[in-house]
Amino acid sequence: MSEISIIAVGGTIDKVYFDAKSEYEVGPPNIERVLSELNLSISYSVNSLMRKDSLDLTEQDRALIAATVANDPCDKILITHGTDTMVETAKALGQISSKTIVLTGALEPALFKTSDAVFNIGCALGAVQSLSAGVYIAMNGKVFAAGKVWKNLKKNRFEPID
Amino acid sequence: MSEISIIAVGGTIDKVYFDAKSEYEVGPPNIERVLSELNLSISYSVNSLMRKDSLDLTEQDRALIAATVANDPCDKILITHGTDTMVETAKALGQISSKTIVLTGALEPALFKTSDAVFNIGCALGAVQSLSAGVYIAMNGKVFAAGKVWKNLKKNRFEPID
Amino acid sequence: MSEISIIAVGGTIDKVYFDAKSEYEVGPPNIERVLSELNLSISYSVNSLMRKDSLDLTEQDRALIAATVANDPCDKILITHGTDTMVETAKALGQISSKTIVLTGALEPALFKTSDAVFNIGCALGAVQSLSAGVYIAMNGKVFAAGKVWKNLKKNRFEPID
Amino acid sequence: MSEISIIAVGGTIDKVYFDAKSEYEVGPPNIERVLSELNLSISYSVNSLMRKDSLDLTEQDRALIAATVANDPCDKILITHGTDTMVETAKALGQISSKTIVLTGALEPALFKTSDAVFNIGCALGAVQSLSAGVYIAMNGKVFAAGKVWKNLKKNRFEPID
């Protein structure tokens, strides 16, 4: 069994560009490529569960994510997720009390020169190994407990709820 | 007071290239530049304590690092350090029991396209916020307790001591 | 007067990402940023004439581009342009016989890690200084005379007409 | 036969980092890797003739470079070369009057995030296809005739001789 189970559900981090339409689509999990290019001393698996913009995630999608996490034999779960509803999915996972679950993503696609993806993946990986059971979000360099964080759209970053 | 106190002592992560000599020297802390380019939700300070290749660190240098950490009002300390003697400095800091101390660095200079610096900084930042008091090394995607890790020179990575 | 006059009319090279819409828009000329980061020994000016996807360029737009080139006091003209109709604009400029005109662009936005933008800009800059009067396209590492080149959509590259 | 013959003789563009010594060595030709990652419409061959810091090039080395160029069946030659004596090698090639020869290199190793290597390679490739027979240097965005250029060490760039 891997030390860490990674579940990818889509979002900006995985967006790829299709020239014909001048639009983005959600592609395969970039976390897999990023981690494979590093020389890691930790074992992990990557499950590409869905490829959705997080604004398109439904109740059923969240139920599927929760069931997938609950049934995972691993107790350290890292989820890459779109940023717009990451806070809601974190809340929906709150019933699972026996695992350490860290959600992360990116504010710019991983294929951009200035993307925050690699940094965020590192931050989430450091957090998921270090935290006790619970649900957390690792974004903008901070590890937040679920329920204590919101996405400030104006500043385009995750911030603590006072 | 900042949430996290960062102390830079040099190492490969900060190496810069001088054309005339075709040699590297240790420059200013790259962690400062990396973090400033991200839109972080966490406060931190950076102290450039020394700029040394870690093979050149002396007992006095390690005593100075330990004293600096001990006297720091912050209880979350992130140290960027050369990789060759990171394990030894981690051990030397073992007397400080009231703080969470995470050491990291890079196997390739941060200015290289393929450097592990940004990922490692993210990983250390995620870990230092999440761990209880103690001394740790965050390298190669894994958070190690001090004393449970060595640098495998042949594979050029940090690995657990079985 | 600058040695080279650069006219930007838009295209993929200048596309920027807007998260809210998951869409691209054409932003300010990336050639200006790219060249400013290099330590160049050549003088140039950049005129952001329009910001259009090249599929949206009209006859009027092409007439404006041609008039702008014809009236430019400089005899070395570099145009950054979308790739889908670059071949047509090159033909439309064919009446201007007294200047060296090189069109270039990019198959991936300049802000992508894997973009061809910097290479293509270099190639066009090398060509425009070296060619006699005429209209040319510099794409995919090759300098083509206008009228001797087409965009192979399937292979996503510019190729010679045999 | 390829359209362009590329000869690599070393220099900063090909420098690689060896951690043990904290020193650079000249590695295999980076131009080969750079060009292979682009989707080019032009045929070329790469000959790794020598791997030297250009300060270490001897009269014999320059004679070998000149003989290699003279014997090459291709009449468009691109040479990647260290910057410190590029001007001298360009002069030494001045006897060859039947070929277009363009020298380029980089002021920072190609593996650096901020390297000028990709831009310079593009510039040299654009120039070598466009120029009539002669010896040229393409550096800092400018195409210089051999003998009309010097390296301004203070400004770290190639400039015209007035």
Q: What is the mean pLDDT of residues D73-87?
A: 97
* Cβ <8 Å between C157 and D41: yes
pLDDT given at position A31: 97
Q: Between chains, do D17 and B24 touch, taking CB under 8 Å as contact?
A: yes
- Count of C-D CB contacts under 8 Å: 115
Using CA coordinates, name the residue in chain C closest to A52: C22
pLDDT above 90: residue B21 = no
- Tell me if C81 sits within 8 A of C135, measured CB to CB: no
C162 — pLDDT class (breaks 50, 70, 90): confident
Chains contacting C (3+ CB pairs below 8 angstroms): A, D
Please tell me the predicted confidence (pLDDT) of residue D5: 98
Check pLDDT > 80 for residue A14. Answer: yes
Distance CA C83, CA D56 (A): 44
pLDDT higher than 90, residue C19: no
Average pLDDT estimate for D131-148:
98
pLDDT digits (tens, 9 = 90+) for C126-147: 999 999 999 999 999 999 999 9
Q: CA-CA distance, A143 to A98, in Å (whole number)?
A: 19
Contact criterion met (CB < 8 Å) for B19 and D156:
yes
Q: How confident is the model at residue A152 (pLDDT cuts 50, 70, 90)?
A: very high
Tens of pLDDT, residue by residue over B70-127, are 999 999 999 999 999 999 999 999 999 999 999 999 999 999 999 999 999 999 999 9
Q: What is the pTM of this model?
A: 0.94
- Chain C: residue whose CA lies nearest to D155: C39
- Which residues, including other chains, have CB under 8 Å from residue D91's CB and lie 6 or more apart? D135, D146, D147
Nearest alpha-carbon partner for A77 in A33, A31, A119? A31
Which pLDDT does position D156 carry in this prediction? 93
Around A69, how many Cα atoms within 13 Å sit in the side-chain half-sphere?
Answer: 32
Which residues on neighbouring strands pair with residue A145, listed in sequence order? A136
* pLDDT of amino acid B22: 57
**pLDDT tens, residue by residue, D7-52:** 999 999 999 876 655 567 899 999 999 999 999 999 999 999 999 9
Beta-bridge partners for C136: C102, C145
Tell me the nearest-neighbour CA distance from C130 into chain A, angstroms: 32
Single out the residue of B115, B153, B15 nearest to residue D22, CA to CA.
B15
Nearest CA in chain D to B14: D22
> Which pLDDT belongs to residue C105?
98
Chain A CB contacts of B108 below 8 Å? none
Dihedral sign for Cα atoms in the order C1, C4, C7, C12: negative
CA gap B115, B108 in Å, rounded: 5
Summarize pLDDT for C46-103 with one digit per residue, the tens: 999 999 999 999 999 999 999 999 999 999 999 999 999 999 999 999 999 999 999 9
Interface test with B, best of A4, A33, A38, A137 (most B CBs within 10 A): A38
d(CA C74, CA D78): 29
Average model confidence (pLDDT) across chain A:
95
Q: What pLDDT, on the 0 to 100 scale, is given for residue B9?
A: 98
Q: Which of A113, A154, A156, A158 to mutate to test the interface with C (most CBs of C within 10 A)?
A: A113
A98-126 residue pLDDT tens: 999 999 999 999 999 999 999 999 999 99
The ipTM, to two decimals, is 0.96
Q: What mean pLDDT comes out for the span B144-152?
A: 97
Per-residue exposure over C93-127, b if at least 16 CB sit within 10 Å of its own CB, e if not: beebeebbbbbbbbbbbbbbeebbbbbbbbbbbbb
Mutation site, C16, C19, C56, interface A, largest A CB count within 10 A: C19
Q: Is the pLDDT of residue A19 over 80?
A: no
Q: Which pLDDT band, with edges at 50, 70 and 90, does B25 fall under? A: confident
Across the interface, whether the CB atoms of B141 and A38 are under 8 A apart is answered: yes
Q: Is the pLDDT of residue A97 over 60?
A: yes
Q: Which residues of D touch B23 (CB under 8 A)?
A: 22-24
Question: Does residue D117 register a pLDDT over 70?
Answer: yes
Please, what is the average pLDDT of chain C? 95
Determine the pLDDT at residue B153: 92
Please report which confidence band the pLDDT of residue C24 belongs to, taking 50, 70 and 90 as the band edges: confident
